[in-house]
Amino acid sequence: MKLTIIGTGYVGLVTGTCFAEVGHQVICVDKDPEKIKLLLEGGMPIYEPGLDELVRKNVNAGRLQFTTSTGEGVERSDIIFIAVPTPPQPDGSVDLSFIETVSREIASSMTAYKIIVDKSTVPVKTGEKVAETINRYCKAKVDFDVVSNPEFLREGFAVGDFMKPDRVVVGVASQRPVQAMKDVYTPYNAPIVVTDINSAELIKHAANSFLALKISYINAVSVLCELSGANVQEVAAGMGMDTRIGRQFLDASLGFGGSCFPKDLSAFIKISEQLGYEFGLLKEVQKINATQMDRFVKKISETMWVLKGKKLGILGLAFKQNTDDVRMSPAIELCQRLQQEGVILRVHDPRAMDKAKAVLTDVTYVSDMNEVAEGCDALVIATEWPEFKQLDLERARKNLTHPILFDGRNLFNVDEMEKLGFLYKSIGRGQGA
């Protein structure tokens, strides 16, 4: 099938590439000429495991193309996917100006029936606005259908998530685009859930908010574990074996971050408010997330006593493993809060150091994780990169002026760390945690 994707961010580029991978003929559009130039030259604007090889393979096979022209994209395909950013505004609501601009551009290029599919995360009722806008700006009288097809991929696992989705949600206002949408997704062998447009849009915000709630829930339980001497990992394992609950997203941490959860939670709260419902439960989710960071900072400051002038090594800057993304990263927030207290930082991340440099200054960037601890008063783990489990702990202990390790991601075993001679403080594992 001939498919156009507008926007080559995380969602757009992965979507376009994975559509090409199953044999569709794809053209990706981005208004940023630098990005398109980079992609045409075989470069990658983002780090996402496995994506660069897949882009190269499909470009070479002639199934994946790039352009800066929306007009060309609209002309070439019958189905146009919108995957542009929907950034947050200061009051928590969503800035839909990119969606509006793209809708107008599509409208002004349309000369025959098109299916316009929204993949960006948008507030409920956006589909109605997109349809209205297209009607208004369409030069000729052309038929079209608007479809909502939210994307659930995770950064760091995006290709796998796209190729093997748990489900594909397709929100429609009429039956006309349903078969074409099913044809697009048939190669992925996933259940296709067909709903009305408003429900499809709500599914995305409701799902992400629920996952954020799950993390805040286990983080709240981790506080009880610290107060009572229980172990949050054992509690999570026991809870998670109930198939109604499930083990995923029950890892206590210094809080969730990234470009989705914090933004989607605020947006969902705002949307609810605009519809006349106060979603107090989700406000509590935000509150617990903020408290979790406060508690971790407090744990560090109480242990170190005076923070001013202390030198700390930080392992992890990305908002989670497997990505170079530092947007709304708890690790970056932690660094900045420690800096405000006068702490001197040596930092390392396997992938995110380049991006971190734009937002985190006056720190020493260290390229080898095993050298971070040198001359530091304590070491802190802020991101759950699996490679940190391979850290040379013996060397770290010798390099630190005092063998203190704060683990915001519970990567190590408490007893083993103590045996190695560390004062080891993690999340929700016993009273001394």
Enumerate the active-site residues. 260
Q: Looking at 15, 253, 266, 410, which residue binds ligand UDX (CB under 6 A)?
A: 253
Cβ contact 106:74 at 8 Å: yes
Q: Which is nearer to ligand UDX, 66 or 412 (CB)?
A: 412
Return the C-alpha torsion angle 75, 80, 85, 90, nearest 10. 100
Q: Which is nearer to ligand UDX, 150 or 403 (CB)?
A: 150
Which amino acid makes up residue 31?
A: K
| Residue 256 C-beta: closest distance to ligand UDX, Å | 3
Identify any residues that bridge with 407 across adjacent strands, giving them in sequence order. Answer: 381
| Residue 297 C-beta: closest distance to ligand UDX, Å | 16
| Residue 215 C-beta: closest distance to ligand UDX, Å | 4
Q: Which is nearer to ligand UDX, 23 or 87 (CB)?
A: 87
| Residue 154 C-beta: closest distance to ligand UDX, Å | 4
Taking only Cα atoms into account, the Rg of the chain, rounded to an integer number of angstroms, comes to: 24
Cβ contact 219:285 at 8 Å: no
Name the nearest CA neighbour of 20 among 190, 184, 189. Answer: 184
**Binding track, positions 257-296, relative to ligand UDX; x by CB under 6 A:** xx-xx-----------------------------------
Q: Looking at 115, 117, 215, 353, which residue binds ligand UDX (CB under 6 A)?
A: 215
Q: Looking at 211, 225, 307, 356, which residue binds ligand UDX (CB under 6 A)?
A: 211
Q: Which is nearer to ligand UDX, 70 or 329 (CB)?
A: 329
Cβ contact 15:119 at 8 Å: yes
| Residue 156 C-beta: closest distance to ligand UDX, Å | 6
Q: Which is nearer to ligand UDX, 76 or 204 (CB)?
A: 204
Which amino acid makes up residue 240?
A: G
Q: Looking at 98, 137, 188, 249, which residue binds ligand UDX (CB under 6 A)?
A: 249
Distance CA 204, CA 61 (A): 33
Distance of CA 246 to the CA centre of its chain: 21
Instruction: Write down the residue that tokens 């022209």 correspond to.
Output: 69
Which amino acid makes up residue 110?
A: M
| Residue 410 C-beta: closest distance to ligand UDX, Å | 10
| Residue 228 C-beta: closest distance to ligand UDX, Å | 21
**Residue 206 interacting with ligand UDX (CB under 6 A):** no
Q: Which is nearer to ligand UDX, 249 or 365 (CB)?
A: 249
Q: How many residues are there in the chain?
A: 433
Q: Which is nearer to ligand UDX, 21 or 333 (CB)?
A: 333
**Binding track, positions 308-337, relative to ligand UDX; x by CB under 6 A:** -----------xx-----------------
Total chain residues near ligand UDX (CB under 6 A): 20
Return the C-alpha torsion angle 301, 306, 311, 316, nearest 10. 10
- Per 3-state DSSP, the chain is made up of helix, strand and coil in percentages (nearest 5) of 45, 15, 40
Which amino acid makes up residue 351?
A: R
Q: Which is nearer to ligand UDX, 24 or 320 (CB)?
A: 320
Q: Looking at 250, 345, 372, 381, which residue binds ligand UDX (CB under 6 A)?
A: 250
- If you write DSSP's letter for every residue of 211-268 in order, what string do you get? HHHHHHHHHHHHHHHHHHT-BHHHHHHHHHTSTTT-STT----S---TTTHHHHHHHH
Q: Where are the beta strands (DSSP E) in 293-368?
A: 311-315, 344-348, 364-365
**Residue 137 interacting with ligand UDX (CB under 6 A):** no
**Residue 152 interacting with ligand UDX (CB under 6 A):** yes
Q: What is the largest CA-CA distance in the chain?
A: 75
Applying CB under 6 A, which residues contact ligand UDX? 151-155, 208, 211, 215, 249-251, 253, 256-258, 260-261, 319-320, 384
